[in-house]
Amino acid sequence: MAVTSIWPIKGRVDRVINYARNPEKTTEASYEELASLHAVDDVVEYAANDMKTERRSYVSCLNCREDTAAAQFMETKRLWGKLGGRVCYHGYQSFKADEVTAETAHEIGVKLAQELWGDRFEVVVATHCNTGHYHNHFVINSVSCVDGYKFYNSPADYARMREVSDRLCREYAISVIENPGGRAKHYAEWQAEQNGKPTHRGTIRADIDRAILASTTERDFLRVMGEMGYQLKTKGKGGKPLKYPALKPPDAGGYFRFHKLGEGYSLDEIKERILHNLQKQVPFPEVVHRPPRRYRVRGKPRKKITGLRALYFRYCYELHIIVKRPASVKRVSFLLREDIAKLDRLDAETRFLGKQHIGTIGELTAHREMASAEINALTAQRQELRKELRRLNRQGDPVAVGEVKQKISALSSRIRAARKEVVL
């Protein structure tokens, strides 16, 4: 099974400034050309990194050479007078763990690149072996070396990439995703679901499930959703069904399309689920409280709980660890559920202010600037260490390589923590 993706790369101004300040690299090229060259070189170097490709055993190039790929990319752009805009494209093809060897993965990647782009573009193909599963990286020049036309990754082009990838996987007896899903979840939503926290779409899906249980027809479903406070758009002005029907939760700012709520929640799938209902159920059932049954016990009456044990049980009831009478499912407004979802972030912000003893906007701004400066300094140190690592890899010194890797890992952890603090 192989998963594919591709995205554009643009030059970064901060990198070209650092590049231009180096007296050993003076050139008559413009800042735009330097930015593009540095961006392409950065992506190519990442794709062909010795640490990830088993010392470049699995790096192949189409219409260019590995050691001069970035320069050849720029020479093609200069030849056709197209130095601006997107400088290259970066794609990947990821295989399921333990399903292919590195050699097979690289062979499939080269065939994919040759069929899709090899007749018109310069391409670098590198197979990474540093994770639990093999995956190919593709770096494609944004300008064709044959006709000068720019690479344009339309939805049709990406669909063809996925189609060719699946065909090659079948030829090598590798499983493929027969029914690929639609739009992926946002990372924040995925993370919240993993931690068991409420999400907007999760609460909408729960309400839809309740409305389906309480319906035997589509009209029943629309009525129940309306009683919950939802607004639904299923038909246009002329009475024709909308291509993308949507619903708006109570107190929400905008509409959510049914087909983006997940599998089983498009309007057609909801209608199919309703048809399987034989009878209606109450969407918000009330729990029937029955008085506890009392039994007569022979002998001495049970002694009343007192002291520390009684205090312990009292706190269990107060904190709802022990629920004497469980509450029924209640209708909670969408706005309230949205506030609950933001509670963790607000809690983290409050704890941060208290931990850093920040009491004014000025102190907060100063702390943020100091953290940003620390990130820049640590990033510069890590960049120097990465240069040293490349040099040591070429020299073949495994002990020194290990020490530098540990230093880079420690710096990356500090940078990650500082970035989270800046965001907070």
Can you give the CATH number for the domain in which 125 is found? Answer: 3.30.930.30
The answer to whether 59 and 109 have CB atoms below 8 angstroms apart is: no
CA distances from 130 to 101, 111, 287, 382, 386 (A): 13, 22, 55, 19, 16
Which residues touch 285 (CB under 8 Å, ≥6 apart)? 328, 329
Residue 98 lies in a domain: yes
pLDDT of the residue at 19: 41
**What span, in angstroms and rounded, lies between the C-alpha atoms of 177 and 279?**
37
One domain for residues 29 and 103: yes
Cα–Cα distance for residue pair 205/38, rounded to 1 Å: 47
Q: 277 near 216, Cβ under 8 Å?
A: yes
Shared-domain flag, residues 161 and 216: no
Distance of CA 262 to the CA centre of its chain: 16
Domain enclosing residue 395, as ranges: 345-423
CB atoms within 10 A of CB 154: 8
Low-confidence ranges of the chain (pLDDT < 70): 1-3, 10-43, 45-46, 48-57, 130-132, 177-198, 282-301, 320, 323-338, 341
Cα–Cα distance list, 29 to 23, 40, 163, 286 (Å)? 14, 15, 41, 75
Whether residue 25 is found in the same domain as residue 106: yes
Are residues 148 and 20 part of one domain?
A: yes
| pLDDT, position 88 | 86
Last residue in a domain, options 213, 245, 275: 275
Token pair in block for residue 36: 């593009």
Query: What was the pLDDT predicted at 110?
Result: 93
Instruction: Judge whether 213 lies within some domain.
Output: yes
State whether 136 and 101 are in the same domain: yes
In a domain, 127, yes or no: yes
Are 216 and 130 found together in one domain?
A: no
Q: Say if residue 270 is in the same domain as residue 164.
A: no
Same-domain status, 120 and 14: yes
Does some domain include residue 301?
no
Instruction: Decide if 291 is inside a domain.
Output: no
Q: CA–CA distance from 360 to each of 193, 354, 365, 423 (Å)? A: 35, 12, 9, 18
pLDDT of residue 14: 39
* Same domain (yes/no): 200, 242: yes
Structural domains counted in the chain: 3
In a domain, 216, yes or no: yes
Domain membership flag for residue 74: yes
**Alpha-carbon gap, residue 415 to 365, rounded angstroms:** 19
The answer on 220 and 155 residing in a single domain is no
Residue 354 lies in a domain: yes
- Regarding whether 18 and 137 lie in a shared domain, the answer is yes
What phi, psi does 209 have (nearest 5°)?
-60, -40
Residues 161 and 206 reside in one and the same domain? no
Reduced to 3 states, what is the DSSP secondary structure of residue 244? strand
